[in-house]
Structure 1
Amino acid sequence: MIDPEGEQPVYLQVAALLRERIEAGEWRPRRRLPAVVALEHEYGVARNTILKAIKHLRETGYVYTVPNWGTVVRAGSDDITVVVMEPGSRGIFRIANDQESARLDLDPDAAVFVLERRGGEVEVLPADKVEIRGPEV
């Protein structure tokens, strides 16, 4: 819980709570954090406090921010995303475009895996950090 009267500044308390959720796997690598407005409401703090907490997480290497898109959980070098190819899904490997390279913090000309799920949801992942599995039977 946030303690406005505590020794630690409120933005560092919020940053610690966000970091705990990242470390617990609630927000997976290469996925956006909830919108700043949603975090404001959830923690009951001002926008500036959330922005300072995100800045602290960025400076400590937990997240990075893509302009006009959002704040993304940074992946560690060993983080692999397991993709289960359910019936009706399809996937391809290709070179990332500039926007995808920025969003995923990739080198230019890096490969990505594009997964399209049966419902139409599309997910783009770094090709070297994805493990593809078939459905469990």
Structure 2
Amino acid sequence: MKKGFTLIELMIVVVIIGILAAIAIPKFSSVKESAEMASCRSNMRSLATGESMYYGMYDEWGTIANLSAGQGTDDPVMENAALMLCPQGAGAAYVFADAGADYTISCPQGAAGEPQDHGSVVTGIQSWQ
């Protein structure tokens, strides 16, 4: 009696592995996208916290450059603010908009209403809540 696997048994194993891979690979890519979105939103929350601190110190909303450098010789509020980029795609910088009494921090990745919309923070209120 010969020991080993027949060709049919090996083909069945290959088919099973192929089916498992077809199920698992799309699941892993969606997990990666979810992690990137969560990281992006965390970055925007951190920048919003820096904005609040900056406003408390200078009575005005800052930009990424202001948060990173402070005003004049003052200490910066967030030294790494200029390094915070959206982790998705090519790593786009966040967009700051000052509207007088309010500010908006948004991510340029994805358009509003699309599945990959990363949202925005408007004067401390997150759009994805």
Which range, TM-score by smaller chain? Answer: under 0.3
Per the normalisation by structure 2, the TM-score is: 0.23
Higher percent of residues as helix: 2
Which has the larger Rg? 2
Per the normalisation by structure 1, the TM-score is: 0.22
